[in-house]
Amino acid sequence: MSALLFLLFLVLSFQLSSSSIATLTEGSSLSVENPEDVLVSPRGIFSAGFHAVGENAYCFAIWFTQSPGQNRTLVWMANRDNPVNGKRSRLSLQRTGNLLLTDAAQLDVWTTDTASGSSVDLLLYDTGNLVLREVEGSILWQSFDFPTNTLLPEQVLTRFTKVISSRSETNHSSGFYQLFFDDDNLLHLLYNGPQISSVYWPDPWLVSWNAGRSTYNSSRLAVLNVLGNFSSSDDFTFMTSDYGQKLQRRLVVDDDGNIRVYSRKGVGDQWSVSWQSNLTPCTVHGICGPNSTCSYSPDSGRTCSCLPGYRMKNYSDWAYGCEPEFDLSCNRSESRFLTLNHVEFYGYDYGFFPNYTFNQCKEFCLQLCNCIAFQYYFFISSGSFNCYPKLQLFNGYRSPNFPGALYLRLPNSSSFSDVESIAKYSLACSTSSRAVLLHRTYSKDSVNGSVKFMLWFASGIGGLEILCILLVWFFLYRNKWQSRVDTQDYVPAASRFRKFSYSELKKATKGFNQEIGRGAGGIVYKGELSDHGAVAIKRLHEANQGEAEFLAEVTTIGKLHHMNLIEMWGYCAEGKHKLLVYEYMEHGSLAENILSNNLDWTKRFDIGLGTAKGLAYIHEECLEWILHCDVKPQNILLDSNYQPKVADFGLAKLLDRNAVKLSNFSRIRGTRGYMAPEWVFNLPITSKVDVYSYGVVVLEMITGKRATMDDRIMEEVDTQHRRLVTWVREKQKKGSAMTSWVEDILDPAIEGNYDVAKMEMLARVALQCVQEEKDERPTMNEVVEMLQKSNQENNDE
């Protein structure tokens, strides 16, 4: 008997693994759960089936059956922007002639919207074309009419189709670059970004005939043939470098905005580029996002950097560009212009003003409230200087060949200089490969059904109880395990934590109307909860923080208890809504208090000491080694007694104490002005980056000056560095014998007595913290010890 059952299993499993389905017939379907459910073309060149694009996320795709290494070479996707779940999703050919992709047996995600009276079947051709065909041979639908980022040989690009790049190398959803025929009958490449769109190929300033194109043929067709000849009805043609040979080829609009043709000799070979649009890396629009410049870099091809005074908006993605760190006042006397040589921003001018003097151009910009820069340079063809006031800064690049300059408008009080933009981030940062996780709740019926069946089966066949019990146990266990994964409730990090509902928090904040701050990745609102009184509720930006980062923040903060660390009371995670509930700090942030001169010298010293204790705790005393990575006055909050509490661990990353690879940070974190040199020079990141930022904060607190200083002091400093640190060091060196040097740097706006020895110690410690060399900086624990010692000596007197 048991032998019989074994045989049954064998037959079953054999049937499952007998692979390659040639055609999908009416009424049948392909399941995401069965890896053998793959359509294969007659000669086996192409395969079509479900392809995993992330954790538990699948797309129905076509790929070259033989792909080099582990990675499939995908050529088409049905649902690139709507991946389906890894359970109970299927592609079905309905009896009506419609092809339908359902997600988790619940949602219709994609359909061909076809109907036929006669019988139809679905075939994959050896050209890579997936065809829905009626018995008589007529084609109802074909994938060649709906390209994604690839054109295969003989796949015609028409007026109705577009080739759209992937978002990144690892993210296959629709990206920003498109190849298509415009209404002028020309084949164009378009950057279609989150904020703007612009054509960059052929060069937008060329008339069509200068670009070698014709606008007269309105058929709008383009195709790459099997021999490697591409021709388009606007007269654009090219031949691949291996023209003539019969190779496997594919034309791809890559995620960097270039078109490339890849080819290879045989199955399993690597692909090589046999043609590419010879766009220099920075002529592709939008590549670095707004408010940033692109420059050529020999190793990575191109480097993006923010303009001085701007910071990266999304540290994992350059497409979002940079945002200003300052507020620009409309008052003309509060602006200055910074000269950026060899920098050009293309387009988005307020106008074009020929034969303007520099001062005329500058005046013009100053008079426009929203003029944020102007471009001014000599135009050889007209023999005059031209002026282009800018209202937006897109498509910026730096090139030694560009003769002109950009004049960037900045607040008069700022000290941003062009030197700062050496803090470039390589474009490599932009491919974030975090896996997507899809969450669906399943109705449990069918699993229960199979359990029931197994039970029935078990009682029906005697003598096999043990085996069946094992099987039932397996199914039950699997069911339980699945439901735990599927319902994905976050495990509370600590039991005193509470999970709040979104409606509860919305009510508590009266519909999020009292904003009290903006931190990394979210806006903080004041709220009132019946069991906690006043609370601060941080609402994370939609689609901003991934699940992983969110959970990291929750668990990090949940574990920390220290009088100088902000207390977290709970969280809310409901779909796209992610919120954190913190204790409310009466006196707001240190930044606000420095500005309003609320703090006397005793308070300032105590804030310096308290902050050091809080940071020392997260660095050294708790179980996991946690770096804050964004220490700045905005992240130090003051309670009713002006005791400091360190807040905002949004950027913190948990580090295993034993893990030595401290340089393993994939992204730049932190805020310009407070960032340690290690970030800029790509050196290993240790807890000393927090020590550096702490030092800058303390110097600001003592001097009352922003780390980004104003011009008045600049003149006194008379150094290239233009840094608060340099200024303070200079004062320390120049200090006279009569009085302490510290008196020269203390904020003159603060009245009242102070203890010279204590303030000197605080300043000296801060200077040690901002040493360029990280090993010369003390640890946070040493800082606490030094400050405490000076405090005690003082109290003993």
- 480-490 in b/e burial notation, b at 16+ Cβ within 10 A? eeeeeebeeee
DSSP state of 617: I
Q: How far apart are CA 725 and CA 745, in angstroms?
A: 11
Q: Tokens in use for 453? A: 């069946």
Among 543, 623, 737, 738, binds ligand NAG (CB under 6 A): 543
| Cβ 634 to ligand NAG shortest distance, Å | 17
Binding of residue 384 to ligand NAG (CB under 6 A): yes
Q: Tell me, residue by residue from 494 to 533, as one string, x for binding to ligand NAG by CB under 6 A and - for no binding.
A: ----------------------------------------
431-490 residues in contact with ligand NAG (CB under 6 A) are 432, 434, 436
Binding of residue 339 to ligand NAG (CB under 6 A): no
Q: How far apart are CA 198 and CA 283, in angstroms?
A: 12
Q: Which residue has the tokens 């049948």?
A: 28
Binding of residue 219 to ligand NAG (CB under 6 A): yes
Q: Tokens in use for 692? A: 């550096």
Q: Please identify the residue of the shown chain whose CB is closest to the bound ligand NAG.
A: 69
Task: Give a three-class secondary structure readout of 307-367.
Answer: CCCEEECCCCCHHHCEEECCCCCCCHHHEEEEEEECEEECCCECCCEECCCHHHHHHHHHH
Q: Tell me, residue by residue from 20 to 59, as one string, x for binding to ligand NAG by CB under 6 A and - for no binding.
A: ----------------------------------x-----
Binding of residue 208 to ligand NAG (CB under 6 A): no
Binding of residue 380 to ligand NAG (CB under 6 A): no
Q: Which is nearer to ligand NAG, 75 or 565 (CB)?
A: 75
Among 196, 221, 368, 662, binds ligand NAG (CB under 6 A): 221
Binding of residue 119 to ligand NAG (CB under 6 A): no
Q: Which is nearer to ligand NAG, 299 or 773 (CB)?
A: 299
What single-letter amino acid sits at 223? V
| Cβ 409 to ligand NAG shortest distance, Å | 8
Binding of residue 381 to ligand NAG (CB under 6 A): no
Task: Give a three-class secondary structure readout of 147-167.
Answer: CCCEECCCCCECCCCCEEEEC
Strand partners, 538: 524, 580
Binding of residue 237 to ligand NAG (CB under 6 A): yes
| Cβ 701 to ligand NAG shortest distance, Å | 24
Among 33, 145, 711, 718, binds ligand NAG (CB under 6 A): 711
Catalytic residue of the set 317, 630, 648, 690: 630
Among 159, 260, 336, 532, binds ligand NAG (CB under 6 A): 336
Among 70, 381, 720, 753, binds ligand NAG (CB under 6 A): 70
Q: How far apart are CA 501 and CA 492, in angstroms?
A: 14
Binding of residue 263 to ligand NAG (CB under 6 A): no
Binding of residue 171 to ligand NAG (CB under 6 A): yes
The H or E element containing residue 483 is helix 465-487
Q: Tokens in use for 416? A: 């941003």
Binding of residue 673 to ligand NAG (CB under 6 A): no
Q: Which is nearer to ligand NAG, 154 or 169 (CB)?
A: 169
> What is the end-to-end Cα distance of the chain in Å, rounded?
95
| Active site (annotated) includes residue 630 | yes
SS percent in the chain: helix, strand, coil, step 5: 25, 30, 45
Q: How far apart are CA 157 and CA 236, in angstroms?
A: 13
Evaluate whether 202 touches 188 at the Cβ level (below 8 Å).
yes
Q: Report phi then psi at 222, rounded to 5.
A: -145, 140
In the complex, the residues that contact ligand NAG under the rule CB under 6 A are 54, 68-71, 167, 169-171, 173, 217, 219, 221, 229, 231, 233, 237, 239, 290-291, 313-314, 316-317, 320-321, 323-324, 331, 333-334, 336, 355, 372, 382-384, 412, 432, 434, 436, 541, 543-544, 711
Residues labelled as active-site residues:
630
